Structure 1
Amino acid sequence: MLDIAEELHRWCREGRAFAVATVVAVEGSAPRQPGAALAVDAGGTVVGSVSGGCVEGAVYELCRAALESGESVRERFGRPGEHPDGDGAFAAGLTCGGVLDVLVVPVPPDAPGRAVLAEALAAAAAGEPVALARVVAGPDGLLGRALLVRMDGTYAGALAESGGLDRAAAAEAAALLAAGRTGTVTVGAESAAGVRCGDPVTLLVESCLPPPRMIVFGAVDFAAALVRAGKFLGYHVTVCDARPVFATAGRFPEADEVAVDWPHRYLDAQEAAGALDARTVLCVLTHDPKFDVPLLERALRLPVAYVGAMGSRRTHEDRLGRLREAGVGERALARLRSPIGLDLGARTPEETALSIAAEIVALRHGGTGTPLTGVRTPIHREPRRAPAPPVRTG
Structure 2
Amino acid sequence: MKNDSSLVQINDDIVKKLYFIHHDEKEYCLASGTDILFFRLKVPTTNENETRKALPFIIEDELAVDPDQVHIAFSIPDQQGFTSVAVVNKDIMKIWAKYIEKKDNKILHIIPELFSINLSNEEVVLIDRGSNILFFNPSGNSFCCDDSLFPNIFSENYPISDTKIINAYTNRADKILPNDNKNIKINLLPNLSDDEFKDRVRKGIETSSINLLSGAFKPIKYLNELITIWLRPIIISLSFIFIYPILIILETHYLDSKILDVKLKLNQVYNSIDESIGNRQNPIEYIKTILADKQENQSKYFLTYTNILFQTLSEIQGSRLISINFENDNKILSVNLSVLSYEDVETIQNNLSSKGLMVREGNSRLVDNKVITEIKLGER
The two structures share one fold, judged by TM-score above 0.5: no
TM-score w.r.t. length of structure 2: 0.26
TM-score w.r.t. length of structure 1: 0.25
Which has the larger helix fraction? 2
- Bigger radius of gyration, 1 or 2? 2
